[in-house]
């Protein structure tokens, strides 16, 4: 009973916020609706027993991707009138894409009713009583450890590459020198003057 209630709650909110993501006129509101959709999709995943994917949705999509979207939307000056001006020009392409998508959905539903995939040859079948976070963790840090570390190196290369290709030391700016600031003492910075009356002062 409570599951059914939760399911319908999450599902309705996902659908509504999905629609509002497209329909809202303010792009910042769109991103916020998208975040709400992600949260509720995560709730649906928990109901389906895929708690790992639920966590991924919240951490990766809400925590990183949506925030990135928000930054981009806020930083870019998007002229929607200009964006919409090409709608009729590309209508044929859009229509073709839509038809392809609909066909895919129909085929997917057909395949779904035809039964599951052959999963007996899986490399690492999991017991039904193991939570999927634990199962993924075990596989990732034992069997696939070597590849996992390799993927880490790929990310490291991406970071090094971004710095190598874009970082440049500029000579026309005055960067902050922290050690210089900390080492500065009050006696270097202040002077005690005793000017005579009416003589003014040399700074």
Residues engaged in binding other proteins (CB under 8 A): 118-123, 143-147, 149-151, 153-154, 156-158, 160-161, 163-165, 168
DSSP state of 195: P
For 28, residues 6+ apart whose C-beta sits below 8 A from its C-beta are 70, 73, 74
Q: Which of 31, 27, 18, 21 is nearest to 83 (CA)?
A: 27
Q: Minimum distance between the CB of residue 110 and other proteins, rounded to whole angstroms?
A: 17
Q: Minimum distance between the CB of residue 170 and other proteins, rounded to whole angstroms?
A: 14
| Distance (Å, whole) CA 77 – CA 151 | 35
Closest CB to other proteins among residues 169, 190: 169
Q: Are 70 and 28 in contact (CB under 8 A)?
A: yes
Q: Minimum distance between the CB of residue 118 and other proteins, rounded to whole angstroms?
A: 6
Q: Minimum distance between the CB of residue 138 and other proteins, rounded to whole angstroms?
A: 13
Closest CB to other proteins among residues 67, 157: 157
Closest CB to other proteins among residues 131, 150: 150
| Distance (Å, whole) CA 51 – CA 137 | 13
């Amino acid at each position: 009973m409570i599951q059914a209630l939760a399911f319908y709650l999450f599902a309705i909110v996902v659908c509504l916020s999905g629609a509002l993501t497209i329909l809202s006129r303010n792009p910042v509101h769109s991103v916020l609706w998208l975040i709400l959709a992600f949260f509720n999709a995560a709730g649906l995943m928990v109901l389906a027993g895929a708690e790992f994917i639920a966590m991924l949705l919240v951490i990766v999509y809400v925590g990183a991707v949506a925030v990135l979207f928000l930054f981009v939307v806020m930083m870019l000056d998007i002229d929607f009138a200009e964006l919409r001006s090409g709608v009729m020009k590309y209508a044929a392409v859009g229509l073709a894409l839509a038809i392809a998508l609909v066909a895919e959905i129909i085929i997917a539903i057909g395949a779904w009713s035809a039964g599951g995939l052959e999963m007996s040859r899986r490399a690492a079948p999991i017991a039904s009583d193991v939570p999927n976070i634990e199962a993924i963790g075990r596989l990732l840090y034992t069997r696939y450890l070597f590849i996992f570390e390799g993927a880490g190196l790929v990310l490291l290369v991406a970071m090094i590459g971004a710095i190598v290709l874009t970082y440049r030391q500029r000579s026309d700016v005055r960067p902050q020198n922290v050690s210089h600031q900390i080492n500065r003492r009050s006696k270097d910075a202040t002077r005690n003057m005793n000017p005579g009356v009416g003589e003014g002062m040399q700074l």
